[in-house]
Each structure stands twice: as structure tokens, then as C-alpha cells.
Amino acid sequence: MRAFLSLGSNLGDRRKFLADAVASLPSVVAVSPVYETDPVGGVDQQPFLNLVAELDTQLSGHELLRICQRLESAAHRVRETRWGPRTLDVDIIWMEGVTVKDDRLELPHPRWKDRKFVLAPLRDLAPDLVSAAELELAEGRVWQVEGLE
């Protein structure tokens, strides 16, 4: 099944954290260009590098969430401040035909259509999921930078 993950980093070697996480993901089909983005919400902090990875997976949403959390732990992510600086943030954005809403996971991601840092790289991979109008209306500033390599 088709699934999309949003990955971001704004602490340490941002590009390495993203590259290591993408390399550790199962069944990657495609990776968007990398975008530098202004932080949205939360505290004053450095810009993020963001990308979206497309997977072809048979994992459940909860199984995929556990992988995302392991990747964040491997990057020594510390959760001190909501929407604060982080070495790595990995969110499941959308999974084909999957809707979940419980105390651990909500799919599709509840704020995916509000955030330009998600929609810009997602549109590169899945223009069928993100219209130009939705991208224009989303919050934040993004600009494409070179890829992971």
C-alpha cells in the first residue's frame, strides 16, 4: 500500500539525520527533493530541512509508527518542548485507504493540509494528493535545496 512519511531536522547535521533515516526505512519507492523551511508554531528556532518519503508497505499504521519512533530515538531526539527543535521528526502523513484515530496515532495526519513544509515535498511525489491551491494556502515558507547526496 502507498504511504507517505514527512521527515524533518533542525539540529546537528540535519542532512545526515535525514539521509540515515531514509536509508533505514523499509520499502522506499521515492524521496522528494529536500526543502529548507521556516519553523511553524512552537518556539523560536533554526530552519528545518524537510522531505517526504513514499513507501510501498504492508505494515499497519501502528507498525509504521513504531519504526518512525525508533528512527527518532536512533537520532537521539529529545522531546522537551512541543514543536521545539529536534534532530529528527518522522510523521506518517497519509496511508492509502487507512483511517486511524486513537490515543497514539491519527491518520491521515490531522495537520498535513495546513503545513507547506509537508505539502511542497508531498506534491513533488504525489500531485494527485496536493493541489496547487492547497499548497498556496498552506502555512509557512519553503525553498528547495539540493538533494540528500
Annotated catalytic residue, options 2, 15, 77, 111: 77
Axis crossing angle, helix 61-74 with helix 14-24, rounded to the nearest 10? 140
77 catalytically annotated: yes
Full DSSP string of 46-110? PPEEEEEEEEE----HHHHHHHHHHHHHHTT----STT---S-EEEEEEETT--EESSS-EES-T
86 catalytically annotated: yes
89 catalytically annotated: yes
Annotated catalytic residue, options 14, 86, 115, 123: 86
Annotated catalytic residue, options 14, 89, 115, 123: 89
Annotated catalytic residue, options 91, 115, 123, 124: 91
Cell of 87: 534532530
Q: Report the catalytic residues.
A: 77, 86, 89, 91
